[in-house]
Amino acid sequence: MARIVLGIDGGGTKTQAAICDETGRVLGMGQAGGSGIDSVGAERALTAIGEAVEAARRQAGLSDVPFDGVFFGMAGVVSEADRAIVRAIARRLQLGERVGVDHDIRIALAGGLSGRPGIALIAGTGSSCFGINERGERWQAGGWGHLISDEGSSYWLGWNAIRLAMGAYDGRWQTALLEPVRQQLNLREMTDIHHRLYTQGISKAEIAAFAPVVIAVAQAGDEMAQALIRQGAHELALMVAAVAKRLGWSHTPCEVTLSGGLWRAGEVMLAPFRQALSSVLPAARIVMPELPPVLGACVLALQELSVEVEESVRGRLLQARLMERELT
């Protein structure tokens, strides 16, 4: 009987699970709310992961028997203590004995380049960059959480949009972000913002939800929103350049694959990023992801079982992209 593995992509606002066998045939996929442990905490992460796995099991027609291999790619996992939290979740859900855990950028790279050496850049709720070279050396830039990092991400755009809107209300500058931000925060008056942010509180996901506001205002011609997007693109390009330098690719060609919901905005995000990357890392080549991160997690789960991910296996995984798109 073919061995069965589970891949998990746990982001700040969305969790995806995929079940496949060792031939690369995807049996089922499921989706639930966010499970990034730095943004939702361990208990909510447990609930979201459990719901996503259960949905994938139902689609696959599988009972709750343990999997032969499991790999988690989780936002917010940067230390061994973080990995221990995720492994404890896997034990509580009785997912299996062989459990691998890493940052979600690792599965973005495994899926985006189908296991080839290169660099992956995530720009979603948060941001981070990770690469592995031909010698197996690895390096990460960014991904240290929203308090000190996450430059260029949806959260970063959202937080800066609120800041710029407040400055416009003060009269320090002008931007069309003011009214859309007021509406998004559901404020009667901008002076209510102190109560909204500091008394009621606002989550990382709520702030990240302002990114579409920034994009829409930028597309309408607002110079401050456009400058904010350019600044974010430059920060993301600097992450890629830092990883490339560490891995010996500063002046040699390397592939860079992009992952995360922010890129779905299209050219309004891609064009300034391409320009910024070409100025700091001219030899880099941007590659659209070959597999989604959740299937990258399956690739890593198979590799943990010493399964060689050959072209036939990749081909079957590629066929599942349509299934993954139906979930998004």
Question: pLDDT of 150-205, one tens digit each?
Answer: 999 999 999 999 999 999 999 999 999 999 999 999 999 999 999 999 999 999 88
Cα angle 244, 250, 256; round to 5: 45
Residue-level pLDDT at 168 = 98
Stretch 25-53: mean pLDDT:
94
d(CA 265, CA 92): 37
Q: Phi/psi at 30 (nearest 5 deg)?
A: -145, 160
pLDDT band at 321 (very low <50, low <70, confident <90, very high): low
Residue-level pLDDT at 314 = 75
pTM of the model: 0.85
Total Cβ atoms within 10 A of residue 78: 18
CATH number at 141-287? 3.30.420.40
Same fold, 4-114+291-327 and 141-287: yes
- What are the residue ranges spanned by the domains of the chain? 4-114+291-327, 141-287
**Tokens matching residue 187:** 């404020």
Angle separating helix axes 223-246 and 154-170, nearest 10 degrees: 140
CA 132 from centre of chain:
17
CA 308 from centre of chain:
26
Stretch 305-324: mean pLDDT:
73
Question: pLDDT of 289-314, one tens digit each?
Answer: 989 999 999 999 998 988 877 777 77
More confident residue, 115 or 66: 66
**Tokens matching residue 68:** 């032969």
The domain over range 4-114+291-327 is classified in CATH as 3.40.50.2300: no
d(CA 70, CA 297): 8
Choose from 168-172, 258-262, 320-324 the range with maximum mean pLDDT: 168-172
Length of the chain in terms of residues written: 328
The pLDDT of residue 267 is above 70:
yes
Percent over 90 (pLDDT), the chain: 80
